[in-house]
Amino acid sequence: MQTETTTRGFPFRRKSKQASSERISNRRFIVAFIITIFGFLAAIAANLLFPQIADVKITDYQVGAFTLDFNSLYLIVLAALVLIYSGNGIFSFFDQDRRKKFTKSAPFRLVVGLALGIWDVLGTKLLLLPQPFFPGPAKILEPFLMEPSYILQQILYSLRLFSYGFVIGISAGVLTGILIGWFPKVYYWVQPVLKISGVIPAVAWMPFALTLFPTPFSAAVFLITICQWFTIASLTAQGIQSTPKTHFEVARTLGAKTPYLVFCVAIPHAMPQIFTGISIANGFTFTTLVMVEMMGQPGGLGYYINASKVWSAYYKVFAAIVVMAILFSLILKVVGLVESRVLRWRKGLVKS
């Protein structure tokens, strides 16, 4: 339904929410599908059709029953992207919301595919980019053929270090936030300490952590815990303190005691702030994780970057960065899924 309104003598139509929701036609979606696939197909064509002019050492690696070089692996990755986005497009065709997301991202995917093709030509085929600082995308994939088990070992070390700091940091942050938000005396004594210590970068505590803790691993866990603790504790306390008094009054009327008020009223009300704190803290945690691995850890992706940089193996540095981007994005995705599950009652109340 549309309503007509006049402003300064000029009529205009105000669309209702149902009318303003844009529907993606089949033709427009097919165009978006073609655009998405075209970029990566162009990258494949550039790799296959453009000759290898620059003198680049190409080594064969035995992967199971197959013999691959970094160029073959690059083509496999591009083909996998084509298949993934093709499957996503077919799956999205039958749902209007997924159609919108797929269509909206099509130009970006086109540019990514074309950029990969140009980068491959300049960085691998011609070596026009400054070497060894900017290797081509195919060269960046070579470490996964050279030392896959070693890279996996560094990934598991980083995940182990992150998991310890993540769990301890969240536990300490939520507990501190509850105590600060609920008990005025705790707020009086702890909040100033939280404010002062929270603005200090976690890596600044590294010399003290290495002295106080018996192993570099436990010192790194302590630094990651600090990153999580400050932000989560602050936002948890805000969520507890902002709980409307009427909620407590209603609960007391029904006979609720203090434990019920804390765990069934205050904490559920603070859940959005708690998850906001976790999301914000993760950004600082990833930075701290890489820095502590580069400054004293015997393993991890940061350690791998540092060791590769010493030998000017910058293609390995880029490979580790790619792994970090995928790994940290997956962690944030998992946290987002947990948040959407716990806070599913907000659907329809908060604009997505």
Q: Decide if 5 is inside a domain.
A: no
pLDDT of 161 strictly over 90 = yes
Q: Decide if 44 is inside a domain.
A: yes
Q: For residue range 40-67, list pLDDT tens digits in order.
A: 999 999 999 999 999 888 899 998 888 9
What H or E segment, with its residue span, contains residue 66?
A: strand 66-68
Amino acid identity of residue 264, one-letter, is: C
Percent of the chain clearing pLDDT 70 (strictly above)? 92
> 291-295: long-range contacts at Cβ-Cβ below 8 A with a sequence spacing of 24 or more?
291/203, 292/161, 292/203, 292/206, 292/219, 292/220, 292/223, 292/224, 293/158, 293/161, 293/220, 295/203, 295/206
Other beta carbons within 10 Å of 326: 11
Q: Decide if 95 is inside a domain.
A: yes
Whether residue 105 is found in the same domain as residue 172: no
Whether residue 87 is found in the same domain as residue 211: no
pTM of the entire structure?
0.84
pLDDT of 215 strictly over 80 = yes
Confidence of residue 136 (pLDDT cuts 50, 70, 90): very high
Domain boundary among 146, 177, 196: 146
- Give the residue numbers spanning the domain of 80: 23-146
Whether residue 203 is found in the same domain as residue 287: yes
As a whole number, mean pLDDT of residues 87-109 equals 91
Q: What are 227's two structure tokens?
A: 């990153």
Whether residue 247 is found in the same domain as residue 160: yes
Whether residue 262 is found in the same domain as residue 281: yes
User: What's residue 20's pLDDT?
Assistant: 38
